[in-house]
Every structure is written in C-alpha cells, then in structure tokens.
Amino acid sequence: MSLTGIRYTKGFLLDLRRRLEFIKDAHELLEMKRDQLIIKLREGLEKLKELRRKVEGEAEEVYRELSLLHSTLGSADLETYSAYLRGNMDVKIVPRGVIGVVTPMVREVNIPDYTNLYPPQIIPLAEKISALMKDLVKLAELEAYIENLAEDLRRTNIRVNALEKVVIPSYEWTIKRIQDILDDEMLEEIIRLKLIKETLTRRRIT
C-alpha cells in the first residue's frame, strides 16, 4: 500500500507517527479479537462435535424405532398415525452479539403436544422425534454461530494481516523516508548556513 499526498514536512511526519500509533493499537486490538474468536470457535467446535454425536445417535434411534414400528404395524397404519398431529413446530429466533459478531439465538422451540392425542403405539416414536427436533434446532443454532464466528475470524485475520504486512510497514517506510528527507534537508540547511557564515566572515576580513 502506498500513501498518497505525502508532504515532506515535520507536521506531516508528526501526523503520520500519530496515525501509526493508532494503527498499531488497532492491530493489537484486532489480534486480541482474533485470539478470542479462536477460543470461542474452538469451544463451539467442541460443543458441535458433542451435539452432533448426540443428534446422530438420536436420529439413528428414531430411524431404528421407525423401522421397527413400520415392520410390526405396516405402512398403512404408520402413515395414518401422523393425522393426529395438531399444530406446527414453532421456533422463535432472536439475534445476539458475541465479540461483535451477530449470530441467531433460539429463544423458544414449541413442539406440538401429543399427550392425550396419540394412540399408544406411536407415543414413544413421537417422544423421540420431539427430542430429536429440539436438538436439531440447537445444532442449527450452534452451526450458524460457528459459521458466523468463522466468517468474522476470516475477516479479522485479513485485517490483522493487512495491517501487519502492508499498512504498518508502508507507514513505517513513509515515516522513515520523510524523516530521511527532513534530515537531509536539515543537513543541507546547516551546510548552507556554514557556507554563508564562512563567506560573510571572509568578506569581513577582506
């Protein structure tokens, strides 16, 4: 990255130094954010691994129960049992912020009630499916959380790298260059002054 509108003045140099200081603070903050995101992401991934294992186990159990019921009751009975379901599944989602990352949070999961409605043959399967649905919603929430964290981590990483590898070196280089030019100019000025002084002294003698 090259800086435009560079003025080789003391004032501009001071301004650049101030700006670099600010950028370094921002870089430090972003690094801290990145570390926090990594920690949160790791925790989330651990939870996801655990929850996914649980959901897979539950799904397997539901499928097993379903195939056993299907085998014993036949297709027709099994198909008609679904008629007793009243109402739809309802999920309430609100946004929440984690280290500045907005992710969806499930506030409420309402599974239609089957008590006093279902024939006994189907209740255990309904119970298992209800539990699975609740955990599937939790899994979706956690996946969205991790996805958003990962996306923010990617963006933060790009910013940290950009600051570290491009912006800060470019500022430092520009500051150095201005400093060098200012130093040269100062030296030139001193030499010029010396020459003038010598000339003046020589004139006075003659």
Partner 1 sequence: MITYLICKCHVYESRLLPRRLILELASASKLEDFIEMLSATAYGDGLLEAKSIWDVEAALTEKFINRLSTLLRVSPENIREFLIQYYRRFEIQNLIRIMRMKLIHEHAESIKRLIIPSEMLGGMDLDPFIGAKNFNEFINLLAGTRYKAISKMDIENPLILESMFRWIYYQGVFDKVSKIPRADRPDVMKILGIELDLHNIRVCILPILYDYDRKLAENLLIDNPAGKSKGLLMELRSIEELLESFPRYRVFIEALMRREEWRAEIEYFRILKDEVDGKRISKYINFFYVLKYILDCEVEYRNLRSIAISLYHNLPVNIRRSLLILPRT
Least Å distance, CB 78 to partner 1, is 9
16 binds partner 1 (CB under 8 A): no
Nearer to partner 1, 6 or 66 (CB): 66
Taking a C-beta distance cutoff of 8 angstroms, is the pair 121, 107 a contact? no
Nearer to partner 1, 99 or 131 (CB): 131
72 binds partner 1 (CB under 8 A): yes
Nearer to partner 1, 77 or 164 (CB): 77
Among 68, 89, 158, 191, binds partner 1 (CB under 8 A): 68
Residue from 141, 189, 192, 174 nearest 14 by CA: 174
Please tell me the distance from the alpha carbon of residue 20 to that of residue 169, in angstroms, as a whole number.
10
Q: Residues 74-113: x/- map of binding to partner 1 (CB under 8 A)?
A: xxxx-xxxxxx-----------------------------
Nearer to partner 1, 71 or 206 (CB): 71
Long-range CB contacts for residues 103-109, cutoff 8 Å, separation at least 24: 103/144, 103/145, 103/148, 103/149, 104/141, 104/144, 104/145, 105/141, 106/137, 106/138, 106/140, 106/141, 109/133, 109/134, 109/137
67 binds partner 1 (CB under 8 A): yes
In DSSP terms, 97 is beta-bridged to 102
Nearer to partner 1, 61 or 172 (CB): 61
In DSSP terms, 206 is beta-bridged to none
Q: How many CB atoms lie within 10 A of CB 30?
A: 19
- The total number of residues shown for the chain amounts to 206
Question: Cα–Cα–Cα angle for 178, 161, 3, nearest 5°?
Answer: 25
Among the residue ranges 1-9, 39-47, 61-69, 160-168, the one whose residues contact partner 1 (CB under 8 A): 61-69
Among 4, 88, 120, 201, binds partner 1 (CB under 8 A): 120
Residue from 187, 182, 177, 190 nearest 9 by CA: 182
Nearer to partner 1, 124 or 169 (CB): 124
Under the rule (CB under 8 A), what is the footprint of partner 1? 65, 67-77, 79-84, 115-125, 127
